[in-house]
Amino acid sequence: PPPPARPPGPYDTSEAVTPYAQATGYNNFYEFGTGKDDPARLAASLVTQPWTVTIDGEVRRPVQLDLDTLRGWFAPEDRVYRLRCVEGWSMVMPWQGFELGALLRRVEPTGAARYVRFTALHDPEQLPAQRPSFFGTTALDWPYVEGLRLDEALHPLTLLATGLHGRPLPGQNGAPLRLVVPWKYGFKSIKSVVRITLTRTRPQTTWALAAPHEYGFYANVNPDVPHPRWSQATERRIGEARRRPTLPFNGYAAQVASLYRGLDLRREF
């Protein structure tokens, strides 16, 4: 049965939601492999219970706690967000979660905190593509690390998701806890987070280290700044035949463009 209708919130898009099968069957989660169906095929090996999250660094109240305890701190919210992958495809995702800002305020950032570094699970036993290949290589350096400026992290759009389509977050979508930053390319929205660290300096992030000329720290969705190897002007919404134009900040310019006033978005891509 369809979930009971709820009035759309101020941050929700009213665009057609991507069906569950596509949203959970076509994923990038390189810890499982680079194929789009690898995560759905292999995510059963991910153990999400129990799950410990560490929040440390430039905070007055560092904490290490079980995810169930953390979830008990906040009432879950529904957010229907656009998701735009840097590869040129997009979806509409009905997330459940809570605002990252609420969590950060609770642990009280110190006056020195400027950035937030997120670290994903590093466990080759559970995440097969973290094991070196036959050639002794891995697709990326593990663990996967992402980062935000503190003001981006505190923005009410920025979510820590624990559910999708009204169900617990599936492994392939980053169970049990993932970041969702809807105005940035999908790779910023780190999956299976185990550690959140507030820092004074800008964190070194995985894709920016792997290919610095292609993936910047900001990674704001921007149709005017092409990827060096492909255009970002259009995208394919999963389920649609024709490409559609990509919107600045993935359609969230009214909410977030002011965060970047005075920043050269071509240089700080």
Partner 1 sequence: MSQSPPSLRRRPAPPLPWLVPGVVAGGLLPLGGLLLAALRGELGANPVQEALLQTGGLALALLVLSLACTPLRRLTGWSWPARVRRALGLLAFLYAGLHFLIYLLDHGFVAATVREDVLERPFVTAGFVALLLLVPLALTSTRGAVRRLGFGRWQRLHRLAYLAAGLGALHFWWGVKQGGAAPLLVGLLVAALLALRLKGGRARP
- Element containing residue 39 per DSSP (H, E): helix 38-42
Residue among 103 and 190 whose Cβ is closer to partner 1: 190
Q: CB-hemisphere CA count at 13 Å for 77?
A: 20
Contact mark string toward partner 1, 129..158, x via CB under 8 A: ----x-x---xx------------------
Write out the DSSP string of 228-259: TTB--SEEEETT-SS-EEPPGGGGTHHHHGGG
Q: Smallest distance, Å, CB 65 to partner 1?
A: 34
Q: Which stretch binds partner 1 (CB under 8 A): 1-9, 20-28, 95-103, 217-225?
A: 20-28
Q: Smallest distance, Å, CB 227 to partner 1?
A: 9
8 A C-beta contact, residue 92 and residue 78: no
SS3 113: coil
**Which of residues 20, 25, 154, 260 is near partner 1 by CB under 8 A?**
25
Q: How far apart are CA 189 and CA 7, in angstroms?
A: 26
Residue among 134 and 258 whose Cβ is closer to partner 1: 134
State the DSSP code for 203.
P
Residue among 14 and 133 whose Cβ is closer to partner 1: 133
Contact mark string toward partner 1, 169..208, x via CB under 8 A: ----------------------------------------
Interior CA angle at 56 toward 205 and 252, to 5°? 50
8 A C-beta contact, residue 117 and residue 203: yes
Give contact residues for partner 1 (rule: CB under 8 A): 21-22, 25-26, 30, 34, 36-37, 86-87, 89, 133, 135, 139-140, 210-211, 226, 228-231, 233-234, 236, 238-239, 241-243
